[in-house]
Amino acid sequence: MMKKSQCCLLVAILCTCLSVAAAEVSEQELTVVNPSDHAVLAGTLAIPQGEAPRAAIVMATGSGAQNRDEELLGHRPFKLISDRLAAQGFAVLRMDDRGVGGSSNPTPDATTLTFAGDIACAVEQLDSLFPEVPIGIIGHSEGGVIAMINAADNPRCDFIITLAGPAWTGDSIIMSQTRAIAQAAMGRWNPDQEAMQRRLLDIARSNMPSSVARIQMSTVLFEAYGAAASTPQMQASIDAMTSNWYRTFLRLDPAEYIRRIHIPWLALNGSKDLQVLPANLETIKQLCPTADTQLIDGHNHLFQPAITGMVNEYQRPEQAPSDTTIDIILNWLNALVH
């Protein structure tokens, strides 16, 4: 997955210039090809003008199909980070996920490991374009796990920054966020609901064929909801829980990679994050004592100033990520790359 000979990147002609803060930045449209399955990923490379970049960084999005800006509810966090970093002398590559924007159709069986391979191709091509500078990854949520995988296994990755990167197995992440959201919304967590959730996760996490897993999940849901378990919404949930991506995510243990990370690492989490709980930072520090872990007070999963951290606050106008978050990233990078 990590061999340079396996990765190639085609640079399109389109190039535009814009002014961001005090620097002029060139944006080049790039097409990254992962030849392991011929996936094509469309991207934008922001390059500071005048001098060679201080470092080159590829952005790794969180779970779900996302565009290169990781656009959500009016926020464009990756565009915002790219603009700020490029203005300070860093080259930044952000890409559409498979099946989004200019990228090729999604691969049905693609997993977190597949996406880590995509990012590895981008890392190696940035290394080819800028051989004299450090190459790093900024990953948000699942993208944080992708950064960890590359940090452990890709020798061309020189540093990583994780934004709410999970340190626990996928099933632990799902259970913890479900409990936290229920507590925040209703002030309690139903033990019966937890038992049902645990049964579904155990089925999804098992090695049984998906056809068998579907039958067992249907049985669990019928016991809980009766005829309502046959609604299209419930069936769509079963489809999601038996997908190759979800079942792999539940089994994946980031600790296997975290223990092997020996490069500079900034790990950030918001204190009000209900999706990847702040306690994940403690696990990162235990498994990788050299990691620089920082908790940002009053911020949610999008690194946006928050009141409760609930998902319904994501649409608030407060900037995501906040200037505070980006300043922490820039200060860390400035200390790393003189």
Q: How do the domains of the chain map onto residue ranges?
A: 4-169+253-336, 174-250
Cα radius of gyration (the chain): 20
The whole-number pLDDT of residue 192 equals 84
CA 182 to the chain's CA centroid: 24
Share of the chain above pLDDT 90, in %: 82
Per-residue pLDDT of 36-55, as tens digits, reads 999 999 999 999 998 899 99
Alpha helices in the chain (DSSP H): 77-87, 112-129, 142-153, 170-186, 191-205, 210-225, 232-241, 244-251, 255-258, 279-287, 323-336
DSSP lists the bridge partners of residue 135 as 56
Second-level CATH architecture of 4-169+253-336: 3-Layer(aba) Sandwich (3.40)
Per-residue pLDDT of 232-249, as tens digits, reads 999 999 999 999 999 999
User: Please, how many CA atoms are within 13 Å of residue 225, restricted to the half-sphere of its CB?
Assistant: 15
3-class DSSP assignment, residue 23:
strand
The yes-or-no verdict on residue 189 having pLDDT over 90 is no
Averaged pLDDT score across all residues of the chain: 91
21 or 270, greater pLDDT: 270
User: Rounded to whole angstroms, how far apart are CA atoms 245 and 267?
Assistant: 24
The yes-or-no verdict on residue 13 having pLDDT over 80 is no
For 70: left if phi > 0, alpha if psi spans -120 to 50, otherwise beta; the answer is: left
Stretch 21-49: mean pLDDT: 89
DSSP lists the bridge partners of residue 265 as 160
CA distances from 144 to 120, 162, 229, 282, 284 (A): 13, 5, 34, 15, 12
Sign of torsion over alpha carbons 254, 125, 91, 84: negative
DSSP lists the bridge partners of residue 11 as 30
The whole-number pLDDT of residue 170 equals 96
- DSSP annotation of 75: B
The yes-or-no verdict on residue 21 having pLDDT over 50 is no
Q: Burial letters for 146-168: b for 16+ Cβ neighbours within 10 Å, e otherwise? A: bbbbbbbebebbbbbbbbbbbbb
190: confidence class by pLDDT, cuts 50, 70, 90: confident
The whole-number pLDDT of residue 23 equals 64
Percent of the chain as helix, strand, coil, to the nearest 5: 45, 20, 35
Q: Which residue in 322, 330, 293 sits closest to 55, CA to CA?
A: 330
> pTM score > 0.75 for this model?
yes
Q: Which two tokens stand for residue 118?
A: 């995509």
Per-residue pLDDT of 137-155, as tens digits, reads 999 999 999 999 999 999 9
Stretch 123-149: mean pLDDT: 97
3-class DSSP assignment, residue 89:
coil
3-class DSSP assignment, residue 300:
coil
Q: Which residue in 95, 90, 64 sits closest to 78, CA to CA?
A: 95
Per-residue pLDDT of 283-336, as tens digits, reads 999 999 999 999 999 999 999 999 999 999 999 988 999 999 999 999 999 999
